[in-house]
Amino acid sequence: MNNVPQHVSIIMDGNGRWAKARGKERIYGHFEGVESVRACTEAAVEDGVKYLSLYAFSEENWNRPKEEVSTLMELMMESIRKELSTMMDNGVRFVVLGNRARLSDKLNAAIDGMMEQTASNDRMTLIVFLSYSGKWDIMQAMKKAAATLSPEEFQNMEAADFERYLVTAGIPDPDLLIRTSGEERISNYLLWQSAYTEFVFSPVLWPDFRKDEFRAALREYSSRDRRYGKVK
């Protein structure tokens, strides 16, 4: 495939509807969604994508019923435990970004362990956005900048300086953002970082979004003309 995006990001949506359509509880959709994470990660590694980022849980998702939130956190915990060897075999560096202060100590410890063990893998970086929102990121960056810089430095700050305080510092902006399940909105995801990202909306629900669907989105991306405001 030519013109492979360096950074692909996915808003993984539609787990609840997938389960409901089968007369099951929402959590079954989340369980099945883990299989799609595995499939898309594999496809991304195979196709030479350098960064794959996944919106797994938003700051707003904390407002869901308690049982669903705790199941999602347990699922995250379990997936970390299960996937370590696959990540090592495939040279995948694992990173979690978001408001980590809201996660349990146990989950934070598991995340830290996984991040440390995979830190020097360099085939692909898999970023999981957990307890993340775009507005939160911009706010925390602004506060960090204000606490670090002198008033004069703060006044003279440029966009490239500010970006160093976002949790995504050092990670290239997404080239392609996929949202599944037919919804066509950003839902407070990478607001700053998606300034020039190409969007692909797929009607497929996340648990059904596997390698073929992932590759179809990559093909769609390769046909896009990115102009960045210029005349070509």
Give catalytic residues, as residue numbers.
13, 61
Instruction: Pick the closer one to Mg ion by CB: 13 or 175.
Output: 13
Question: Shortest distance, CB of residue 229 to ligand IPE, whole angstroms?
Answer: 28
Q: Is residue 213 close enough to count as binding ligand IPE by CB under 6 A?
A: no
Which of 83, 82, 90 lies closest to 49 in space, CA to CA? 90
Query: What region, left, alpha or beta, does residue 228 occupy, with left being phi > 0 and alpha being psi -120 to 50 degrees?
Result: left
Question: Please, where are the H alpha helices in 91-164?
Answer: 105-117, 134-148, 151-156, 159-162
List the beta bridge partners of residue 10: 54, 178
Instruction: Pick the closer one to ligand IPE by CB: 58 or 197.
Output: 58
Binding segment (CB under 6 A) for ligand IPE, from list 41-49, 53-61, 138-146, 167-175: 53-61
- Which 170-209 positions form the footprint of ligand IPE (CB under 6 A)? 181, 183, 185, 187, 206
Question: Shortest distance, CB of residue 70 to Mg ion, whole angstroms?
Answer: 18
Which of 108, 123, 126 lies closest to 52 in space, CA to CA? 126
Q: State the residue for tokens 């079954």.
A: 28
Q: Is residue 126 close enough to count as binding ligand IPE by CB under 6 A?
A: no
Among the listed residues 5, 9, 12, 13, the single contact to Mg ion using CB under 5 A:
13
Instruction: Pick the closer one to ligand IPE by CB: 118 or 133.
Output: 133
Binding segment (CB under 5 A) for Mg ion, from list 5-13, 76-84, 137-145, 223-231: 5-13
Question: Shortest distance, CB of residue 177 to ligand IPE, whole angstroms?
Answer: 12
Say if residues 114 and 82 touch (Cβ distance below 8 Å).
no
Say if residues 195 and 26 touch (Cβ distance below 8 Å).
no
- Name the DSSP letter for residue 50: S
Task: Give the rounded distance of the alpha carbon of 189 from its chain centre.
Answer: 9
Q: Is residue 206 close enough to count as binding Mg ion by CB under 5 A?
A: no
Strands (E), the chain: 7-11, 51-58, 92-97, 124-132, 176-179, 198-201
Instruction: Pick the closer one to Mg ion by CB: 17 or 224.
Output: 17
- Which 13-32 positions form the footprint of ligand IPE (CB under 6 A)? 13-17
In angstroms, the CA 179 to CA 54 distance is 10
Which positions touch ligand IPE (CB under 6 A)? 11-17, 55-58, 61, 72, 181, 183, 185, 187, 206
Judged by the rule CB under 5 A, the positions of this chain that interact with Mg ion are 13
